[in-house]
Amino acid sequence: MFATPFLDLPPLDSASGTVVLPGSKSISNRVLLLAALSGGTTRVHDLLDSDDTKVMLAALATLGCGIRHNHVNGNTVEIDGLAGQLTASQADLFMGNAGTAIRPLTAALAVLGGDFSLHGVPRMHERPIGDLVDALRQLGCQIDYTGQDGYPPLRIGQPQLKLDAPIRVRGDVSSQFLTALLMALPLVAQQDVVIDVVGELISKPYIEITLNLLARFGITVQRDGWARFTIPAGSRYQSPGDIHVEADASSASYFIALGAVATSTTGTFDSKIRIEGVGAASIQGDIRFVEAAEQMGAQVASGPNWLEISRGTWPLKAIDLDCNHIPDAAMTLAVMALYADGSTTLRNIASWRVKETDRIAAMATELRKLGATVNEGADYLRITPPATVYDWKAASIHTYDDHRVAMCFSLAAFNPAQLPVRIEDPKCVAKTFPDYFEALLALSHTATAHIPVLCIDGPTASGKGTVAAALAARLGYHFLDSGAMYRITALAALRAGLVISTTDEAAIATLAQTLPVRFVDGKVWLGDSDVSEAIRTEEAGMNASKVSALPAVRLALVALQHSFRRLPGLVADGRDMGTVIFPDAPLKVYLTATAAKRAERRYEQLISKGISTTLEDLRDDLEARDARDSSRVAAPLKPAQDALLLDNSDMSIETSVDQVLDWWQSKQPFGLK
């Protein structure tokens, strides 16, 4: 997951490959609650691991459910159900911003009774729940608002249930209120329980998911159209034992769009996007996004649980569509509309205004930043793409703590103007798809020249390694510690019985060319051996220094170092990064400090490792090494002509990092923040 303040997506050219999607949020949280309410143990397979499911699992654990995680066979969670009997009669439950958790839990706890507080993040306290509370109060539930009327936080007490008359619930704000009642009322169905929907029910496909899952847990709801639902007397939850969560159809929408926008129709190779985990047999309404994408021009092939998408019509066709049946996935259409041949109108989307953020306003604001013309109404959005390639703008997309805003705007990185797109607060995708950007970047291709590289060169003990690693972490970029390449090469050479000198130069170079090196979770592997510590000794440094003076070895390591230049970008540390390896890097920094300061830093480092030394010796050493390094023939130590010099003698690491970041920001087209 990218936990950086922003993620800069370079301009992307094309995409191809296979993505395995995480489980559906809607299905995951429904299944968790149903498993908790049922008798017996339920093994939930392929459960989504996200913020919203964590919120639900934590609440269920607080309420007394036994929960066991099993990561061996995919993501499986075992839930010991409560058989409709809460073991905790009092609890304080934090619901984050998870609508799919707070609504059904409120209903279930309200009919079972106890003393429960439910609250969430500030945005949760702005999301309406009044229609559900009104419906529950009608049947005798005791619910108080402890903040603002109509919104969480809530306090739930003991009910005095009256189930004779039909329960009326509004269906035109959120279908989740009806879902909540449908999941709660089987707990108290000693007699037939009837629910009447007032107003036109929106998002019917989500009700179909609810009914489908209720059936899997032993509850058959009778339905008259979409206006009346009856839970038969004697209904009882029964665990199905095992249940699989299908992949999230809304998450699939980004990759369906990716196929429609970014697969190549030229060239000889077969360029398409394959999505696994969800397909034609899906029970999720958002799977009908496929039809909307096809209308816009996507070519789609499908099986029960897979989809394959490639570009069909190009540019895409503008559409005018009632999106009530695909409320979440339709946000993706709004970004596809940027690539259409005219104005696209998305209608009947009033529910967007009460989601994670006011999504109509958010989409309009951010699409305009990219250069689109957008008209927004109470329940519609009309998007006209930038008129020409010159009308596109590089934009920093604000994401409003809304995962779907972040995910759908990433598709703007395929813009024909080849401008980068900045996604602010990329970690907000954790709500449903923590590794979304990794998945997108793994499928995306771009010209190497478009992948940004930030080079940090400088003399030994200037702090460049620490600064470079910190910069990579702040930008979410890959990190190349080029010194490690020489350290590993030297180690590999010695292990192969070679002598580090010109005599064995050719042999060492051959070895360096096919070095079986892997960097995994902060560890360095050479073949099957973990060499993370072996390459960090003083002796390994000396050997690296010797091996790095051999021109053939330097040449042999070029390809390996180039291979680190991967999406979304690279921070490269080492003496010849800006001069030899990445001469086209948009920012090169030459970090330096006085010999006295560097000696002090090295002194502290060595003393903390328990190695005794003196400042004078270190300073003499450093000065001698500088002189040798600057005058040596192979890769002498010198700043690139276009490098910015940063003397950090009197700066902390943090200040140095901030300074380089400022320089980096000033080179981006988004403006300083």
Catalytic site residues? 328
- The nearer residue to ligand DC, 91 or 580, going by C-beta atoms, is 580
517 binds ligand DC (CB under 6 A): no
**Dihedral (CA of 660, 662, 665, 666) sign:** negative
Cα end-to-end span (Å), the chain: 23
Distance CA 368, CA 481 (A): 40
C-alpha closest to that of 167 among 187, 139, 141, 132: 139
The stretch near ligand DC (CB under 6 A) out of 231-239, 290-298, 389-397, 482-490 is: 482-490
Contact code string over 555-574 relative to ligand DC, x by CB under 6 A: -------------------x
Site residues (CB under 6 A) for ligand DC, limited to 583-642: 635
541 binds ligand DC (CB under 6 A): yes
Phi, psi dihedrals of residue 139, rounded to the nearest 5°: -95, 15
Do residues 491 and 531 make contact, with C-beta atoms less than 8 angstroms apart? Answer: yes
- The nearer residue to ligand DC, 24 or 548, going by C-beta atoms, is 548
Do residues 363 and 377 make contact, with C-beta atoms less than 8 angstroms apart? Answer: no
**Strands, DSSP E only, in 85-137?**
90-94, 115-119
Distance CA 271, CA 460 (A): 46
With CB under 6 A as the contact rule, the residue among 4, 16, 482, 656 that binds ligand DC is 482
User: Residues binding ligand DC: what is the number (CB under 6 A)?
Assistant: 13
Instruction: Specify the DSSP class assigned to residue 430.
Output: G
In the complex, what is the shortest distance from the CB of residue 336 to ligand DC, in angstroms, rounded to a whole number? 44
The stretch near ligand DC (CB under 6 A) out of 242-250, 347-355, 540-548, 642-650 is: 540-548
> Which ranges of 174-267 does DSSP label H, i.e. alpha helix?
176-184, 204-216, 249-262
- Residue 179, judged by CB atoms within 10 A of its CB (0-12, 13-18, 19+), counts as buried
Exposure of 332 in the CB half-sphere (CA atoms within 13 A):
27
Instruction: Specify the DSSP class assigned to residue 22.
Output: P
Residue type, 580: V
Do residues 576 and 484 make contact, with C-beta atoms less than 8 angstroms apart? Answer: no
- The nearer residue to ligand DC, 507 or 635, going by C-beta atoms, is 635
Cis peptide before 205 (omega within 30 of 0): no
In the complex, what is the shortest distance from the CB of residue 541 to ligand DC, in angstroms, rounded to a whole number? 5
- The nearer residue to ligand DC, 99 or 458, going by C-beta atoms, is 458
Phi, psi dihedrals of residue 310, rounded to the nearest 5°: -140, 165
Distance CA 420, CA 664 (A): 14
The stretch near ligand DC (CB under 6 A) out of 179-187, 345-353, 484-492, 656-664 is: 484-492
In the complex, what is the shortest distance from the CB of residue 635 to ligand DC, in angstroms, rounded to a whole number? 5
The stretch near ligand DC (CB under 6 A) out of 43-51, 392-400, 543-551, 603-611 is: 543-551
C-alpha closest to that of 113 among 153, 50, 46, 160: 160
* Tokens encoding 387: 């008129």
- The nearer residue to ligand DC, 523 or 673, going by C-beta atoms, is 523
- The nearer residue to ligand DC, 315 or 583, going by C-beta atoms, is 583
Exposure of 72 in the CB half-sphere (CA atoms within 13 A):
3
With CB under 6 A as the contact rule, the residue among 176, 282, 344, 548 that binds ligand DC is 548
- The nearer residue to ligand DC, 211 or 469, going by C-beta atoms, is 469
In the complex, what is the shortest distance from the CB of residue 422 to ligand DC, in angstroms, rounded to a whole number? 30
575 binds ligand DC (CB under 6 A): yes
With CB under 6 A as the contact rule, the residue among 385, 483, 568, 578 that binds ligand DC is 483
- The nearer residue to ligand DC, 170 or 575, going by C-beta atoms, is 575
C-alpha closest to that of 206 among 123, 100, 130, 304: 100
In the complex, what is the shortest distance from the CB of residue 537 to ligand DC, in angstroms, rounded to a whole number? 11
Pairing status of strand 344-347 against strand 373-376: unpaired
In the complex, what is the shortest distance from the CB of residue 508 to ligand DC, in angstroms, rounded to a whole number? 14
In the complex, what is the shortest distance from the CB of residue 530 to ligand DC, in angstroms, rounded to a whole number? 18
In the complex, what is the shortest distance from the CB of residue 617 to ligand DC, in angstroms, rounded to a whole number? 18
Q: Output b/e per residue, 15-45; b: 16+ Cβ within 10 A.
A: bbbebebbbbbbbbbbbbbbbbbbbeebbbb
Site residues (CB under 6 A) for ligand DC, limited to 279-298: none
Distance CA 152, CA 263 (A): 44
Q: Measured in whole angstroms, how far is the alpha carbon of residue 267 from the centre of its chain?
A: 31
Torsion of CA 40, 41, 42, 48, to 10 degrees: 130
With CB under 6 A as the contact rule, the residue among 382, 576, 582, 670 that binds ligand DC is 576
Q: Which residue is nearest to ligand DC (CB)?
A: 483
- The nearer residue to ligand DC, 158 or 605, going by C-beta atoms, is 605
C-alpha closest to that of 26 among 184, 178, 199, 213: 213
- The nearer residue to ligand DC, 545 or 656, going by C-beta atoms, is 545
The stretch near ligand DC (CB under 6 A) out of 54-62, 470-478, 514-522, 542-550 is: 542-550
- The nearer residue to ligand DC, 120 or 483, going by C-beta atoms, is 483
Phi, psi dihedrals of residue 42, rounded to the nearest 5°: -115, 130
Do residues 387 and 416 make contact, with C-beta atoms less than 8 angstroms apart? Answer: no
In the complex, what is the shortest distance from the CB of residue 605 to ligand DC, in angstroms, rounded to a whole number? 12
Contact code string over 55-84 relative to ligand DC, x by CB under 6 A: ------------------------------
The stretch near ligand DC (CB under 6 A) out of 91-99, 215-223, 441-449, 477-485 is: 477-485
* Tokens encoding 117: 């507080």
In the complex, what is the shortest distance from the CB of residue 612 to ligand DC, in angstroms, rounded to a whole number? 21
With CB under 6 A as the contact rule, the residue among 97, 310, 545, 648 that binds ligand DC is 545
Residue type, 6: F
Residues that bind ligand DC in the complex, under the rule CB under 6 A: 482-484, 486-487, 541, 544-545, 548, 574-576, 635
